[in-house]
Amino acid sequence: MKPRRLLIPCICLAMASPALADERGDELIAAYLDQAARKNARVTVQVKHVKGSQPPILLAFTWLRRVQAKLTSHFIRMEAPESEQGKLLLVHERPDGSSDFVAYRPQSALRKKVRISGARHYKYKSLRISVQELIGGELAKYTHHFLGSREIGGVLCHVVENRLKPEFTGKSDFPRSILALSADSMTMVQWELYDRTNRLTRKIVATETKVVEGTPTVTQAQISSPQRGSQLQWTVQSIEFDPAFEPDLFRKESLQRQTTSPTSN
């Protein structure tokens, strides 16, 4: 009788799951990525993390992004505090959503973990930063479903649900997310990310958006983690599009030679 009992919930789950991505959802995510993620950039970021009565944690890092036709590369270097300075992370993303990660800790062997877990969190004391959030959510790993338009925080938004593709099961902390994009600027207004039990795990709210070199850009965001009772303030201190940097920065063979900050040309 057990197989018969399992049959009904399985059918219900199949009926409740969206089928293929819809065209409007794909169009909106493509427009968002073209503006927010598919441009070469140098970004300096400061993060302030607060959890309960614990002292705030401050981190600073530099993020270089190189976009090519078949590969997007991210080079992340921790700048502060002193104990984290010089730690490197190199991420290569392919158009199908798959990715490679190489981490480097000064004075240790290449590929030594920089406290990057299997779920790809950067960990420092009580702070956990999802690398997926850091580099834009790896949205190519998801199908996209337009949920309609509505006001969020006084801003008219297009709302898109993102569901992890079957081939990436177990390779993301967030099998489902709901992304609200400004109807005017196509910038992120709010992003809700759900865990494998469909509980809200992260809520990202844009608190400041500026036009940088002609591109509307989120420069401040508040990230809350309801289950952990923590708040994270993300602040872009500077951003430069199409900077001059050496392509070799994005080769794993060169990581051990990176003894100075890549912010300099």
| Token pair in block for residue 131 | 């690398």
What integer pLDDT is reported at residue 108 of this predicted model? 57
Residue 191 in this model has a pLDDT that exceeds 50: yes
Report the alpha-carbon distance of residue 265 to residue 248 in Å, rounded: 12
Which of 105-109, 122-126, 198-202, 235-239 has the lowest average pLDDT?
Answer: 105-109
* pLDDT single digits (tens) 225-254: 888 888 989 999 999 999 988 878 888 777
Q: Dihedral sign for Cα 188, 214, 62, 257, please.
A: positive
Domains of the chain: 22-255 (2.50.20.10)
Q: pLDDT averaged over the chain?
A: 80
Confidence of residue 160 (pLDDT cuts 50, 70, 90): very high
What integer pLDDT is reported at residue 230 of this predicted model? 86
| Token pair in block for residue 3 | 């197989």
- Predicted TM-score (pTM) of the model is 0.79
Residue 43 in this model has a pLDDT that exceeds 80: yes
Report the alpha-carbon distance of residue 263 to residue 63 in Å, rounded: 9
My answer on whether omega of the bond before 18 falls inside 30° of 0, hence cis, is: no
What integer pLDDT is reported at residue 114 of this predicted model? 47
Confidence of residue 2 (pLDDT cuts 50, 70, 90): very low
